Amino acid sequence: MTSSDELRKRREQEAVRIRTSLNRLRGEQRASLKGGETAVAFVEERLCIGCDQCTIVCDDDAIEMYKVDMVSPLIHVESNQKAKILRADCTGCRLCVLACPTDAITMIDR
């Protein structure tokens, strides 16, 4: 029978394996993205769920949230929020693209 110590060790090894593979994936994804002075982030409003993750990672304060009315046939929600890129402040670092859980942000030519 597996002891709790062995189980804990296996969990730790698995966590390291997952973290390593995610980091590799992010590195590959980042390398394939446009970035730098000639690029700027763009948010596709339809895909944005207003989770605020992008504003947390943006060191340049280049993202602001704005309120929109949310339409749902199931529940009444007065408003939701969406992200908007402030183009002049965006440095093209691509962090927000990697942070967005819904792939709502892409890098486009400036």
Which residues bind to ligand SF4, rule: CB under 6 A? 41, 43, 48-54, 57-58, 60, 62-63, 83, 85, 90-96, 99-100, 102, 104-105
Between 14 and 60, CB nearer to ligand SF4: 60
CB of 75 to ligand SF4, least distance (A): 19
Of residues 58 and 74, the one with the C-beta less far from ligand SF4: 58
Query: Taking the complex as a whole, how short is the minimal distance between the CB of residue 98 and ligand SF4, in angstroms?
Result: 9
How far apart CA 75 and CA 70 sit, in angstroms, is 10
Question: CA 69 → CA 12, 66, 76, 91, 105, distances in Å?
Answer: 44, 10, 10, 30, 21
The percent helix, strand, coil of the chain (3-state, each to 5) is 35, 20, 40
With respect to ligand SF4, which residue has the nearer C-beta, 51 or 70?
51
Closest distance between ligand SF4 and the C-beta of residue 31, in Å? 15
| 8 Å CB contact between 107 and 43 | no
